[in-house]
Amino acid sequence: MTTIALYSNKGGVGKTAAAVNLAYLAAAGGASTLLCDLDAQGSSTYYFRVQPGIKRKARGLVKGNRELLDSVKATDYAGLDLLPADFSHRRLDLEYAERKKPTAQLAKALEPLQSEYDVVVLDCPPTINLLAENVFMSADVLLTPLIPTSLSLLAHRQLLAFLGEHDYRRARVYAFFSMADVRKRLHRDLMIDARASLPNVLQTAIPYLAAVEQMGVHRAPIYAFAANTPAATAYRDLWAEVRALIKL
């Protein structure tokens, strides 16, 4: 099982869009895949037309037992399951803080999935709290969307510094450009600078395209309604790079 986290300490950068499309592509390629919606806002859950839990506790994600698997829902897509968001996920870091090894809780919770899935995709909220540290401990690859703006690059540098200071294995962090507009000179220049100065920036840039926004209207991965568009091709290219990284 390989765990891929879509993570950024910045909000609204394209984590959920990438998580949904990459999870779809993993499953379409034959890997048994689970998308875990760790964000209490439930955006990836929304894209799959699944109701987020409101009353249940996030027991599975805290205790790490079979209850996690009981919460998993099938999606309309073969080979792709979803662990829906739960409103209690907003408290996950508080729950983890009460445990003995607070940063190892998510990894422990995901253990029962080992035998069930080839790929687990984590759609993370934009926070750098204890839940994020649990993500850093459990993900094999951290994929960070980067909008080509100075502040986005600054946030990424801060993330890399944080990971280095706290001894999380930094080499597993890969960044890709998201919402890139190559007609903008600033975007082009920043992308060149970032590739020269940041480690592990993937070749694929996801352009700013309306088809991605329309995922919210169709409530589906892009391949369900716009499979032959540049946006769909961009996520395919990104998945090819990620697949090579995880040797799937």
Ligand X SMILES: Nc1ncnc2c1ncn2[C@@H]1O[C@H](COP(=O)(O)OP(=O)(O)OP(=O)(O)O)[C@@H](O)[C@H]1O
User: Which residue ranges make up the site for Mg ion (CB under 5 A)?
Assistant: 15-16, 43
State which of residues 4, 13, 22, 36 lies at the interface with ligand X (CB under 6 A): 13
Q: Which stretch binds ligand X (CB under 6 A): 10-18, 90-98, 102-110, 182-190?
A: 10-18
State which of residues 2, 3, 9, 43 lies at the interface with ligand X (CB under 6 A): 43
Q: How far apart are CA 67 and CA 58, in angstroms?
A: 9
- Lay out the sheet containing 201-207: strands in order across: 73-74, 80-83, 33-37, 119-123, 2-6, 141-146, 173-180, 201-207
Element (DSSP H or E) covering residue 33: strand 33-37
Task: Report the nearest approach of Mg ion to the CB of residue 15 (Å).
Answer: 5
Q: Which does 179 bind (CB under 5 to 8 A by kind): Mg ion, ligand X, none?
A: ligand X
Residue 5 or 64 with smaller CB distance to ligand X:
5
Site for ligand X in 176-195 (CB under 6 A): 178-179
Does residue 212 touch ligand X according to CB under 6 A? yes
Residue 22 or 119 with smaller CB distance to ligand X:
22
Q: Are the C-beta atoms of 61 and 70 separated by less than 8 Å? A: no
Does residue 206 touch ligand X according to CB under 6 A? yes
Using CB under 6 A as the binding criterion, the count of chain residues that bind ligand X stands at 19
* DSSP string covering 182-226: TTSHHHHHHHHHHHHHSS-EEEEEEE--HHHHTHHHHTS-GGGT-
Element (DSSP H or E) covering residue 121: strand 119-123
Q: Are the C-beta atoms of 102 and 96 separated by less than 8 Å? A: yes
CB atoms closer than 10 angstroms to residue 185: 9
State which of residues 209, 220, 226, 242 lies at the interface with ligand X (CB under 6 A): 209
Provide the binding-site residues for ligand X, judged by CB under 6 A.
11-17, 39, 43, 126, 178-179, 206, 208-209, 212-213, 215-216
